[in-house]
Structure 1
Amino acid sequence: MGKPDAEGHGPPDGLPDLPPEWGRVVVPDDASALAEEARQLRRELRRSRRQASWHGRLDRTRRPDGLPSLGLPVLILLVAVLTTLGGLAAVTWPRSSRSGGSPTVVPYPAATPAQVGPLPALDLVDAGDSPVPLRALLPAVILLVDACACPDRVAEAVTAAPPGVTVVTVTEGRAVRPAPSTGAPVRALADPAGGLRAYLHLPARPGAATVLLVDRDSTLVRVVPVLNSIEEYRPDLARLAG
Structure 2
Amino acid sequence: MGKPDAEGQGLPDLPPEWGRVVVPDDASTLAAEAAQIRRELRRAARRPSGHRALALPLLVLLVAVLTTLAGLLAVTWPRANRGTDRPTPAPYAPPATLTGRALPALDLVDAGQAPVPLRGLLPVMIILVDGCACPDQVADAVAVAPVGVAVVTVTGGRTVPAPPPAARNVRALADPAGGLRSFLGQPARPGAATALLVDRTGVVTRVVPELGPIDAYREDLSALAA
Of the three residues 103, 124, 142, the one matched with 1:158 is 142
Work out which of the residue numbers 129, 135, 142 in structure 1 matches 2:126: 142
Identity of aligned residues (%): 52
Cα displacement string for residues 145-164 of structure 1 (whole angstroms, at most 9, x for unaligned residues): 23333222122111211222
RMSD of equivalent CA atoms: 3.3
User: Which of 199, 203, 219 is matched with 1:219 structurally?
Assistant: 203
User: Which residue number in structure 2 is paired with residue 105 of structure 1?
Assistant: 88
Number of the residue aligned with 1:13: none
Within 2, Cα distance between the matches of 1:222 and 1:72?
81
Moved over 6 A (4+): none
Equivalent position of 1:177 in the other structure: 161
The alpha-carbon deviation at position 138 of structure 1 amounts to 1.5
Find out whether 1:79 has 2:63 as its counterpart. no
Instruction: State the aligned residue count.
Output: 173
CA contact (8 A) 2:109 2:174 kept: yes
Change in Cα spacing, 1:130 to 1:77, as seen in structure 2 (3 Å) is same
5+ unaligned residues in a row in structure 2: which ranges? 1-43, 78-83
Mapped to 1, the partners of 2:183 and 2:110 lie a distance apart of 20
- C-alpha contact (below 8 Å) 2:103/2:203 kept by paired residues: yes
Q: Distance in 2 between matches of 1:135 and 1:162?
A: 18
1:210–1:225: 8 Å Cα contact kept in structure 2?
yes
Equivalent position amino acid for 2:87 in 1: T
Q: SS of the residue aligned with 1:241?
A: coil
Give the structure-2-normalised TM-score: 0.62
Q: Is the 8 A contact 2:94 2:185 kept in 1?
A: no
Q: Deviations over 1:22-77 (max 9, x none)?
A: xxxxxxxxxxxxxxxxxxxxxxxxxxxxxxxxxxxxxxxxx959x97142233134
Deviation, 1:176, is: 1.0
> Residue 192 of structure 2 aligns with which residue?
208
SS across alignment from 2:50:
coil
- Selected match of 1:231 from 197, 210, 215: 215
Structure 2 residue 171 is the aligned partner of structure 1 residue 190: no
Counterpart Cα distance in 2 of 1:183 and 1:170: 14
- The answer to whether the 8 A contact 2:195-2:207 is kept is yes
Q: CA deviation at 1:137?
A: 0.9
2:31 is aligned to: none
2-structure distance, mates of 1:194, 1:183: 24
